[in-house]
């Protein structure tokens, strides 16, 4: 507002970095954090102080009503700076200088955007929808010296291009410090707790309802976590969260078998994946996007050898013959046992009881369902141990080391895989083809994790046989 002829602006502390130069300023988080208000206010105030040319963009914008035009107009009124701006239905321009706000969709106006000159600021609102193709055009197009790209969004999915570009590479530090900064980037998680005005809004009551009644919705809508509302997911997001460093929280060591799970991804476009675990602790999760099948096999074998693995379990459907040929020609270390996983085969050890009086052959449609469900049981028992204090033998738990760089991608894949409903009481898990039909990428990391815990030559639900598991567990 204007007081004694001077513009007074109340700024939210969390957005202080908007006022310092940086090529990329990225603020993401949940509803009610004040992102849009602070972005609009900062740009409009800057526009009264100097000439700026701002492109306000979204991935798709069919009309001016879908843009931030109205938000900027409302902010002009709130600040009392109407005399500084000439407002029309489609534009906002400075009265006393050359400041200008331009509104455009990105995906449908690439040619026009590439020809824009003199843009000093790009504000991308609802940027969770910006595609990788749009980013590849936007970033090199706006290269004016000192130009900045401002990004505001509420995360939807961990695999969205914006999240992968600006959050995933820095997630470990963001989780620790709430932000990441280097010479070119300022990236910050902001939520309703950062907004001192939140309690004065009607959003407070909505947040309280979700926090009390729907934990997953609360985390997604209000805490800025990627979408965790997978109704029929085999493994729940909160179970995965509980498993992160559970060996440190509960006090059990890595002991027993050392297993490498390997998904060769023999179909074009898929990444090869490995997962290494020692006992119940997962220490490594990796993807390999280059090379052919032979390169992938060499990579997995070398990784298993480097880690002194006792077992290597691989997806034997289709690619199994190539691995067998490699073993036949080159031989293999006698200490490593190689096992092919064939998910379409009937349940392993069919006459063994799974629970109560139900046998494996009655519970599981095939081995894919069986071993995905065994993994599910590990995550659920770990969740109960961490969150509810329910004692469980650590050989049946799972711990995901926080040092695993691919942890966010693994979590995203784990919670995507769904139970397949059909005219049978047996448990079925959707296939990779099922996932592709609903637009989901192949869960190579998650499948490799399943294989890592699918060693059939030892106890199926734990790794006790041949090892001393008489260890303390701090519950």
Tell me the longest C-alpha to C-alpha distance in the chain. 87
Question: How many C-beta atoms surround the C-beta of residue 291 within 10 A?
Answer: 12
**pLDDT for residue 213:** 86
Separation of alpha carbons 94 and 87, rounded Å: 9
Tokens standing for residue 233: 């997911």
Separation of alpha carbons 92 and 100, rounded Å: 6
Separation of alpha carbons 336 and 310, rounded Å: 5
Q: Count of alpha carbons within 13 Å of 91, Cβ hemisphere only?
A: 9
Separation of alpha carbons 412 and 408, rounded Å: 6
CB 220 within 8 A of CB 40: no
- Looking up tokens 């498993």 gives 243
3-state secondary structure at position 189 = strand
Q: How far out from the chain centre does Cα 408 lie?
A: 5
Write the CB contacts of 328 (distance below 8 Å, at least 6 apart in sequence): none
CB 57 within 8 A of CB 182: no
Separation of alpha carbons 284 and 445, rounded Å: 11
Separation of alpha carbons 383 and 388, rounded Å: 7
Separation of alpha carbons 122 and 54, rounded Å: 6
Instruction: Write the DSSP string, 303-333.
Output: HHHHTT-SEEEEE-TTTHHHHHHHHHHH---
Domains of the chain, by residue range, sit at: 2-199, 237-452
**pLDDT for residue 226:** 82
Separation of alpha carbons 45 and 42, rounded Å: 5
Regarding beta strands 121-124 and 53-58, do their DSSP bridges make them parallel or antiparallel, or are they unpaired?
Answer: parallel
Closest C-alpha to 386, from 404, 366, 406, 400: 400
Write the CB contacts of 13 (distance below 8 Å, at least 6 apart in sequence): 194
3-state secondary structure at position 86 = strand
Helices marked H in 52-125: 69-79, 110-114
CATH code linked to domain 2-199: 3.40.50.300
For residue 328, with 0-12 CB atoms within 10 Å meaning exposed, 13-18 middle and 19 or more buried, which class applies? exposed
Tokens standing for residue 175: 């989780």
Q: What share of the chain is helix, strand, coil (3-state, %, to 5)?
A: 40, 20, 40
Regarding beta strands 353-355 and 121-124, do their DSSP bridges make them parallel or antiparallel, or are they unpaired?
Answer: unpaired
Helices marked H in 384-470: 407-414, 432-437, 444-452
Separation of alpha carbons 313 and 258, rounded Å: 11
**pLDDT for residue 413:** 86
**For the chain, first and last CA: distance in Å?**
56
CB 315 within 8 A of CB 263: yes
**pLDDT for residue 266:** 57
Q: What is the pLDDT along the chain (475 residues), one digit of tens a residue?
A: 555 456 777 889 999 999 999 999 999 999 999 999 999 999 999 999 999 999 999 998 878 887 899 999 999 999 999 999 999 998 999 999 999 999 999 988 888 888 898 999 999 999 999 998 899 999 999 988 999 999 999 998 777 889 989 998 888 788 888 999 999 999 999 999 999 999 888 899 999 998 888 877 888 899 998 875 556 789 988 899 999 999 999 999 999 999 999 998 755 556 899 999 999 999 999 998 888 888 888 899 999 999 999 999 999 876 666 776 666 665 555 678 989 999 999 999 999 999 878 899 999 999 999 999 999 999 999 999 999 999 889 999 999 999 998 898 898 889 888 888 766 789 999 887 877 776 667 889 999 999 999 998 654 344 443 333 333 333 2
Separation of alpha carbons 434 and 237, rounded Å: 21
Question: Regarding the domain delimited by 237-452, which CATH topology (the fold level of the hierarchy) does it fall under?
Answer: Nucleotidyltransferase; domain 5 (3.30.420)
Question: How many C-beta atoms surround the C-beta of residue 171 within 10 A?
Answer: 17
**Confidence (pTM):** 0.61
Closest C-alpha to 312, from 277, 342, 359: 277
Whether the domain at 2-199 and the domain at 237-452 fall into the same CATH topology: no
**pLDDT for residue 475:** 28
Write the CB contacts of 71 (distance below 8 Å, at least 6 apart in sequence): 36, 37, 40
**pLDDT for residue 435:** 75
**pLDDT for residue 318:** 65
Closest C-alpha to 20, from 185, 196, 168: 185
**pLDDT for residue 2:** 53
CB 447 within 8 A of CB 287: no
Closest C-alpha to 410, from 312, 275, 279, 317: 275
């Amino acid at each position: 507002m204007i007081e004694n002829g001077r513009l007074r602006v109340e700024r939210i502390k969390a957005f202080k970095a908007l006022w310092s130069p940086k090529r990329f300023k990225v603020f993401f988080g949940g509803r009610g954090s004040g992102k849009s208000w602070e972005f609009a206010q900062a740009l409009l105030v800057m526009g009264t102080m100097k000439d700026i040319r701002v492109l306000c963009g979204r991935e798709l914008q069919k009309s001016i009503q879908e843009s931030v035009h109205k938000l900027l107009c409302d902010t002009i009124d709130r600040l009392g700076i109407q005399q500084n701006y000439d407002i029309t239905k489609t534009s906002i321009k400075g009265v006393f200088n050359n400041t200008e706000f331009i509104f455009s969709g990105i995906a449908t106006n690439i040619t026009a955007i590439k020809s824009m000159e003199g843009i000093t600021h790009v504000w991308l609102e609802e940027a969770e929808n910006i595609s990788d193709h749009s980013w590849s055009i936007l970033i090199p197009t706006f290269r004016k010296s000192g130009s900045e790209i401002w990004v505001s969004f509420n995360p939807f999915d961990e695999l969205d291009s914006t999240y992968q570009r600006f959050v995933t590479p820095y997630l470990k530090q963001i989780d620790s410090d709430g932000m990441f900064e280097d010479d070119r980037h300022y990236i910050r998680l902001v939520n309703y707790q950062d907004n001192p005005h939140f309690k004065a809004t009607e959003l407070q009551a909505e947040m309280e309802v979700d926090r009390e009644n729907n934990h997953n919705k609360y985390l997604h809508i209000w805490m800025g976590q990627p979408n965790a509302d997978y109704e029929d997911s085999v493994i729940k997001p909160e179970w995965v969260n509980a498993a992160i460093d559970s060996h440190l929280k509960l006090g059990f060591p890595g002991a027993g078998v050392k297993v490498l799970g390997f998904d060769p991804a023999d179909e074009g476009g898929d990444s090869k994946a490995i997962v290494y675990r020692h006992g119940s602790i997962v220490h490594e999760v990796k993807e390999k996007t280059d090379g052919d099948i032979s390169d992938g096999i060499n990579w997995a074998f070398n990784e298993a050898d480097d880690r002194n693995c006792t077992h290597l379990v691989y997806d034997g459907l289709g690619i199994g013959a190539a691995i067998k040929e490699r073993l036949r020609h080159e031989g293999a270390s006698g200490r490593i046992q190689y096992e092919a996983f064939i998910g379409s085969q009937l349940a392993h050890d069919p006459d063994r009881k799974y629970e109560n009086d139900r046998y494996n052959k009655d519970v599981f449609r095939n081995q894919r369902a069986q071993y995905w469900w065994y993994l599910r049981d590990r995550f659920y028992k770990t969740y109960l141990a961490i969150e509810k204090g329910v004692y469980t033998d650590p050989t049946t738990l799972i711990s995901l080391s926080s040092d695993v760089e691919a942890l966010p991608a693994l979590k995203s894949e784990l919670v995507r895989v769904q139970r397949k409903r059909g005219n049978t009481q047996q448990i079925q898990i959707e296939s990779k083809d099922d996932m592709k039909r609903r637009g989901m990428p192949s869960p190579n990391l998650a499948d490799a994790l399943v294989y890592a815990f699918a060693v059939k030559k030892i106890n199926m639900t734990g790794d006790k046989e041949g090892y001393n598991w008489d260890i303390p567990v701090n519950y």
